[in-house]
Each structure stands twice: as C-alpha cells, then as structure tokens.
C-alpha cells in the first residue's frame, strides 16, 4: 500500500469539515466525499478541493482508489455503512459513538479481521497528546522499574526533571459533561430514530476518559436516568467500579450546562482536566503539600489531525494498539449494559 493513503469521508457535517481541514494541515487533500445529498457533497468538494464526488455515495465503498473511509454520519447508520466498507476491503475510522451496541461493534470488528483491514473509533481521547502524556506519567509514577511498552527512557528522564512526585494508583475519577441543547424533541439529540440521548452523544466521552485511566474494565455499574419526552436519556448519573477497587462517577446532561471537568484522584495527588475531551492542559496537585504542576501537550485545534495520524500509523506500520480498540469495546459494553438496564432500545435496533 502506498504511504500516501487516499482518504474518503462519508457525510458533510461539522466533523467532515474539520477532517478535511485537518488533512490540509497534514499537507494532504481529501480524495473523495459522499453524502445523501449530492449537491451538498459538491459544495463541500469545491471548498476543500476534493478530487472525487459520488452521485451515489455507495460508490465510495467500491472505489478501488479509496484506502480509508471516515464515517461521520449519525450513530444509527454506522453499522450499515461500516459493514459495506469493510466487506469491500476499506479501512474505517468511525465517529463516536462508534456503534449503537456491542453486538454491532463485534460484527464490525469481525468483518475487519476477515478482510484484513483496520476498523477503529474516532475517539478524540485516544489520540490527544495530553492524555498520552498523562498515561505515561502515571505508569512511571507507579513503578520505578516500569517496563510498559508506552514508556521510553526519555519519558522517565522528562518525568524526573518535572519534579512531580509519584502519584500512585488511581483511586477515584469524577467526570462532568453537561450541554444545554435546545429543548426541542425534533432535535437529533432527543430523537430516538436518530439514536439520540446523553449516553451515546456525550457519555461516551466521559466513559472513555474514565476507562483510559482505570487498570481494568468496570464490571460493577449503578445508575439513575431521567428521560426526555421522546424516551431518550436526557440526564444520567453513573457509578462504576472495577476489580482493582477503582471507582468513577459520571454526571451527564443534555438539558443542563456543566463544566467538562475531569478529576483523577490518586493516592498522592490528583489530576484536574478542564474542557475534555479536546484538552491540551491539565493541573496536578500534590496531596500533602498542595503544590501545583501544570502539564501541557498538543493543541485543541489539532484534535482530528491526531486521530488521522494515528490511524495512518496503524494502517501503514501495524501500530494498531494506538487505536485502543479494546477500550472502545469496554466502553461500548458498559453503554449497552446501561441501556438494557434502562430498557432504552432504539427503533429497529438488535442487541
């Protein structure tokens, strides 16, 4: 496969525009675009100098020149489009929530394996440099003889020079994510036919962040949920605990603005992150002295660039671990379990 991968995007919404701009920052151009409405795709193509526009977007899945497809359409369409792309040997990067449920996700993963291509979730948290830096910091701080593959000697040197004492084991994680969406039941955020609701739209970020800082998948799950008139989850409180005794609490709302705030409490201090998932700054506070350390890495504006760079690394160099598919699986399993417990099944959904 050529090093210059040809990207196609399905959909012309906000994420598709950001994706095209990110490719330009990488010194590349989007090869192809497809959309339900051809006219919208044509305007998009003109804006970003896209080489190919499909009159029927299904042609994208069969185009021999397409290497990788970024799916940016609503949640409930992901399995249908991913299935067609994977069966035709295309690598797929799929917007969150990557699927509606674990059954759909496992089908997509199996198809990717059978067709020798990569399927992954476009989850910003997996790819932002800030989180990668914090994960390494915690690994190094937990053991002087850390042999984890993500930790390099230069990382240990940087950690030593930072003056940050070992934080120890992660004990408790607190996450808030609240958006004030127009309270219109035809709005996609509350529309059951478009897989609306807080869990799949914003909860997936909070759960992904929590999972990334926990040693194992949480198996003990408690929750409370408030429904919108449509039956979609409008607000939820979730409590998680894994076999290592690590806990996480999540507060989600589509009808109440909250700061996007994460606090990762460890034995010897805590990490505070504001405005996740696309955060580029964190603060570490030592428990005993109260001393504050600022950690910075990456840039919020480059979020999609990081996602696509990692996807290309996975495709071209076989570095699939950077896509964190096992964490995507764990998060999807939690969301599926929660919705089953709530009895909140989307129209035509099979789980």
Are 116 and 146 members of one domain?
no
334 contacts 218 by C-beta, under 8 angstroms: yes
Are 234 and 104 members of one domain?
no
- Cβ burial of 38 (10 Å; 0-12, 13-18, 19+) is middle
Predicted confidence at residue 140, as pLDDT, reads 86
Are 53 and 131 members of one domain?
no
Structurally, how many domains does the chain consist of? 2
Q: What is the mean pLDDT of residues 282-294?
A: 96
Query: Among residues of the chain, what percentage have pLDDT more than 90?
Result: 89
174 contacts 262 by C-beta, under 8 angstroms: yes
Question: Which of the listed residues 76, 93, 122 is the one where a domain comes to its end?
Answer: 122
Predicted confidence at residue 141, as pLDDT, reads 67
With vertex at residue 87, the alpha carbon angle to CA 71 and CA 85, rounded to the nearest 5 degrees, is 15
Are 240 and 270 members of one domain?
yes
Question: Which of the listed residues 104, 122, 140 is the one where a domain comes to its end?
Answer: 122
d(CA 3, CA 328): 27
Question: Which of the listed residues 277, 298, 319 is the one where a domain comes to its end?
Answer: 298
Are 165 and 247 members of one domain?
yes
Predicted confidence at residue 145, as pLDDT, reads 47
The answer to the question of residue 307 being in a domain is no
The answer to the question of residue 190 being in a domain is yes
The answer to the question of residue 143 being in a domain is yes
The answer on pLDDT for 100 being more than 70 is yes
Can you give the pTM of this predicted structure? 0.94
The answer to the question of residue 309 being in a domain is no
Predicted confidence at residue 3, as pLDDT, reads 73
The answer to the question of residue 116 being in a domain is yes
CATH assignment of the domain containing 197: 3.30.360.10
Q: What is the mean pLDDT of residues 90-108?
A: 98
Predicted confidence at residue 153, as pLDDT, reads 60
Render pLDDT for 129-171 as a digit per residue (tens, 0 to 9). 999 999 999 998 675 544 455 556 666 666 666 788 899 999 9
Give how far Cα 49 sits from Cα of 15, 101, 249, 250, 334, Å: 17, 36, 45, 42, 41
Are 167 and 289 members of one domain?
yes
Query: Among residues of the chain, what percentage have pLDDT more than 70?
Result: 93
Are 74 and 163 members of one domain?
no
The answer to the question of residue 159 being in a domain is yes
Predicted confidence at residue 152, as pLDDT, reads 63
The answer to the question of residue 164 being in a domain is yes
Render pLDDT for 253-287 as a digit per residue (tens, 0 to 9). 999 999 999 999 999 999 999 999 999 999 999 99
Render pLDDT for 175-213 as a digit per residue (tens, 0 to 9). 999 999 999 999 999 999 999 999 999 999 999 999 999
In a 13 Å sphere around the CA of 273, the CA atoms on its Cβ side amount to 29
Region of 290 on the Ramachandran plot (φ > 0 left; ψ -120 to 50 alpha; else beta)? left
CA Rg, the chain, in Å? 20
Are 56 and 196 members of one domain?
no
Are 135 and 253 members of one domain?
yes
Are 58 and 160 members of one domain?
no
Are 283 and 199 members of one domain?
yes
Phi/psi at 202 (5° precision): -120, -30
CATH assignment of the domain containing 84: 3.40.50.720
Domain that holds residue 22: 7-122
The answer to the question of residue 313 being in a domain is no
173 contacts 248 by C-beta, under 8 angstroms: yes
Render pLDDT for 213-228 as a digit per residue (tens, 0 to 9). 999 999 999 999 999 9
Are 95 and 136 members of one domain?
no
Q: What is the mean pLDDT of residues 287-314?
A: 97
């Amino acid at each position: 496969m050529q090093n210059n991968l040809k990207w196609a995007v399905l959909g012309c919404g906000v994420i598709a525009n950001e994706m095209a701009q990110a490719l330009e920052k990488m010194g590349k151009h989007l090869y192809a675009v497809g959309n339900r409405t051809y006219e919208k795709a044509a305007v998009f193509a003109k804006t970003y100098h896209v080489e190919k526009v499909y009159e029927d977007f299904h042609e994208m899945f069969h185009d021999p020149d397409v290497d990788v497809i970024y799916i940016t359409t609503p949640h409930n369409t992901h399995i249908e489009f991913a299935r067609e792309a994977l069966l035709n040997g295309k690598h797929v990067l799929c917007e969150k929530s990557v699927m509606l449920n674990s059954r759909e996700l496992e089908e997509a993963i199996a198809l990717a394996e059978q067709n020798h291509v990569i399927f992954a979730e476009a989850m910003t948290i997996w790819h932002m440099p800030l989180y990668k830096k914090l994960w390494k910091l915690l690994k190094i701080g937990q053991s002087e003889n850390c042999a984890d593959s993500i930790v390099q000697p230069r990382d240990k040197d940087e950690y030593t020079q930072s003056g940050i004492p070992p934080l120890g084991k992660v004990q408790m994680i607190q996450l808030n994510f609240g958006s004030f969406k127009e309270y219109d039941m035809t709005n996609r955020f509350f529309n059951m036919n478009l897989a609306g609701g807080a869990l799949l739209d914003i909860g997936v970020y909070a759960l992904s962040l929590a999972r990334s800082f926990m040693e194992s998948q949480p198996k003990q799950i408690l929750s409370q949920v408030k429904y919108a008139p449509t039956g979609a989850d409008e607000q939820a409180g979730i409590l998680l605990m894994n076999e290592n005794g690590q806990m996480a609490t999540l507060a989600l709302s589509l009808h109440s603005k909250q700061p996007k705030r994460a606090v990762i409490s460890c034995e010897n201090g805590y990490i505070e992150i504001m405005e996740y998932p696309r955060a580029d700054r964190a603060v570490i506070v030592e428990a005993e002295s109260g001393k504050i350390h600022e950690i910075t890495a990456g840039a919020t504006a480059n979020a999609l660039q990081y996602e696509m760079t990692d996807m290309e690394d996975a495709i071209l160099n076989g570095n699939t671990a950077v896509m964190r598919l096992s964490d995507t699986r764990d998060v999807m399993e939690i969301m599926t379990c929660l919705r089953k417990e709530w009895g909140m099944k989307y129209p035509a959904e099979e789980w």
